[in-house]
Structure 1
Amino acid sequence: MNMRFNTDDVFAQRIESSIQENVSLATYNTFRFNYSAEYFAIAESLDSLKALLAWANHFQLTVTMIGGGSNLLISADVSGLVILNRLTGISAREHSGNLVSLTVAAGESWHQVVKYAVEQKWYGIENLALIPGTTGAAPVQNIGAYGVEIKDVLARVQVINRNTGDVYWINGRDCGFSYRDSFFKGMWKDVFFITSVELSLKKQAELLLSYGGLSESIGERPSLQAVFDTVCRVRSEKLPDPVVLANSGSFFKNPIVSQAQHSELKERFPNLVSFPFEEGFKLAAGWLIDQAGWRGKQYKGVGVYEKQALVLVNHSETNAAALLELEAKIKRSVLEMYSVELEREPVQLPLCRESQQ
């Protein structure tokens, strides 16, 4: 590597030697698009992450942090330094009352964290089973499923300041959470990278079964383990495994409309699938796309998953061009049919750098 630190520090030299040039990102995004990182390194500890950020700052490079790659749409080569988050570690602190504090490093698999909590008989995240990606990505996207969002159990988030290397905690209530959104995805995306999270779980709690027909799927004897098993089974039946078929899970957010627009749509489309949400209604994007005739359709080497129209899949493409074309066609047809604009859920790189999933 031609770019070098002017330092005799052994650790810094070791970090510098671990930085690779022109590395393919095909295995680091679940769409498997074959774009390259200008520079690439793996962070396995806070110290190594600090050193990598210092290196990037020294050479005035942009920094992109990625984790499992399951919420990324890479559409071009990524300039600057791409850091793969592999920070690991889980610890728990049981309080005298009903609460358990679970601290999880950002590089841990989210699903494995959910599985671990269920095995310990701790309540709060069982509805979020089998969501792909790393724990550090969960707050960025405010992941959610079956009526539960990560913000509901997130006590605080540990972050590293990209510019200074300082590490500190931010209370969950201060992270600007909303539907599939947070400050980490917006105003903080160029400043903070998540290094750890602390979850507030419960030793005993009511199971939330009212969303998405979960209670009917579980049967007459609901339990913490039964909820976990059912969510895993239902998600496996509806969503393709990215290891088998390249995809990033739900590609579009469920659009939110006003009560007036919902009433108008309901009159025109009596079978419209929708749910009350805040001051308006949340529409089922998968239903809109399905009704527009896209479910199971293929376009060049990509397509819409046959079992769930919310999921776009990559059959054979090595770049994102066809997928971006398909996305535009779907959005245009839904807008023309329902006057509803769909919004993409995966984060596009290198246009923005907010995701760690």
Structure 2
Amino acid sequence: MTRSLSTTQPVRPGVVQQGISLLAYNTFRFHYQAEYFALAETLESLKELLAWANHQQLEVTIIGGGSNLLISADIRGLVIINQLSGIKSRELGNNRVSLTVAAGENWHHVVEHAVNQGWFGIENLALIPGTTGAAPVQNIGAYGVEVKDAIARVQVIDRISGDVYWVLAVDCGFAYRDSHFKGKWKDKYCITSVEFSLKKRSDFVLSYGGLANQITGDLSLLNVFRAVCKIRSEKLPDPNELANSGSFFKNPIVDPAKHDELKAAFPNLVSFPFGDDYKLAAGWLIDQAGWKGKKYQGVGVYEKQALVLVNYSEESAQALLALEAKIKASVFERYGVELEREPVQLPLLTTNPIDHGESIS
């Protein structure tokens, strides 16, 4: 454990800038500004930035790849871009290996690295945009696998004291697209590293989303990885080419009674068992409600996957928030199901976006 942040008055770090645009740091490419801004490339620089912000009584916002983020206004205080880097591994025995990854490492590159080493457990999570430090926050998941299934522990820094320590995965409050890092710990800790426990022998999960049918050639780790990449590339837009944050809505969870009601009314309903309940395919609900491919001002619903909202030309989030509200109201009116957003909104707005009645095309 490291020592607490110094109580002496810290000098403003030289890396801190003022009035910096965040357009390049969010994949929706909205053009909002940070009051103060800095890149943190080492643990020591991160501690120094936190110490300065604490002394100045500034709010601190930490961003990774900005791919699960909806910035909707200028951000007060200090915005830190987490660029901590480094990957190391060690043998655990029993055909398992520990992979420890710094929070700023690109997530897809980590998956690719594991696959190239012949380590199983995260191959279904290929091509999910963002950094490794963001993966536990959202408990990212795809094709029947959630990242919590492979996490052993998470290293954090206390934003106030500067103490750095490990939190076991079992204590992180992981749930469907959720964790304590997204909830009660979001203003307490910053993730600095993640340790994964991966397998050295095959243990594929292929039953979800038709993944098994997309594998060409022998059933191998590399071919499963390639199949996931192919499916995602065909269905989801590259944020570097079309601004988006990936899946915009969570798949709703309903109880058996509600599921039976919906199945009776909509026989083609797409759903999956989820414990004692059922998970509905949000993309199907939105598509059937008529939203796939629709455009609203300079934003819209992606033509190949209704779960994805895209930004064609807007510099602000107002149109996207209005479109989100329209989609949620439409789905609730048709199915009686509430949709919930996946991306984290910064800063959290307490008022609804103004709807000027512009047409949907």
TM-score by length of structure 2 reads: 0.93
SS in 2 for 1:95: strand
**Structure 2: which 5+ runs fail to align?**
1-5, 350-361
Deviation at 1:300, TM superposition (A): 0.4
Aligned length: 344
**Structure 1: which 5+ runs fail to align?**
353-357
Query: Aligned equivalents of 1:346 and 1:65: distance in 2?
Result: 14
SS in 2 for 1:18: coil
Give the number of the structure with larger relative contact order, counting CA–CA contacts within 8 Å between residues 6 or more apart: 1
Q: Which residue does 2:253 correspond to in 1? A: 256
Deviation at 1:139, TM superposition (A): 0.2
Residue number among 121, 124, 127 corresponding to 1:124 in the alignment: 121
Residue number among 27, 30, 38 corresponding to 1:41 in the alignment: 38
Contact 2:217 2:223 (8 Å CA) reproduced: no
Q: Which residue does 1:149 correspond to in 2? A: 146
Query: Aligned equivalents of 1:186 and 1:115: distance in 2?
Result: 30
Deviation at 1:298, TM superposition (A): 0.2
SS in 2 for 1:51: helix
- In structure 2, relative to structure 1, the CA distance for the partners of 1:270 and 1:220 (3 Å cut) is farther
TM-score by length of structure 1 reads: 0.94
Alignment of 1:102-251 (within 5 A): 102-219=99-216, 221-251=218-248
Query: Aligned equivalents of 1:319 and 1:144: distance in 2?
Result: 28
Q: Does 1:29 align with 2:26?
A: yes
Return 281-290 or 343-352, whichever deviates more. Answer: 343-352
Residue number among 290, 294, 299 corresponding to 1:293 in the alignment: 290
Residue number among 264, 269, 272 corresponding to 2:269 in the alignment: 272
**2:102 alignment partner AA:** A
Query: Aligned equivalents of 1:271 and 1:48: distance in 2?
Result: 54
Identity of aligned residues (%): 70
Deviation at 1:97, TM superposition (A): 2.1
- In structure 2, relative to structure 1, the CA distance for the partners of 1:323 and 1:197 (3 Å cut) is same
Deviation at 1:16, TM superposition (A): 1.5
SS in 2 for 1:325: helix
Cα RMSD between the aligned structures? 1.4
Query: Aligned equivalents of 1:208 and 1:350: distance in 2?
Result: 37
Query: Aligned equivalents of 2:14 and 2:181: distance in 1?
Result: 30
Query: Aligned equivalents of 1:114 and 1:107: distance in 2?
Result: 14
Query: Aligned equivalents of 2:189 and 2:224: distance in 1?
Result: 34
Q: Does 1:94 align with 2:91?
A: yes
Stretches of 4+ moved more than 2 A in 1?
5-8
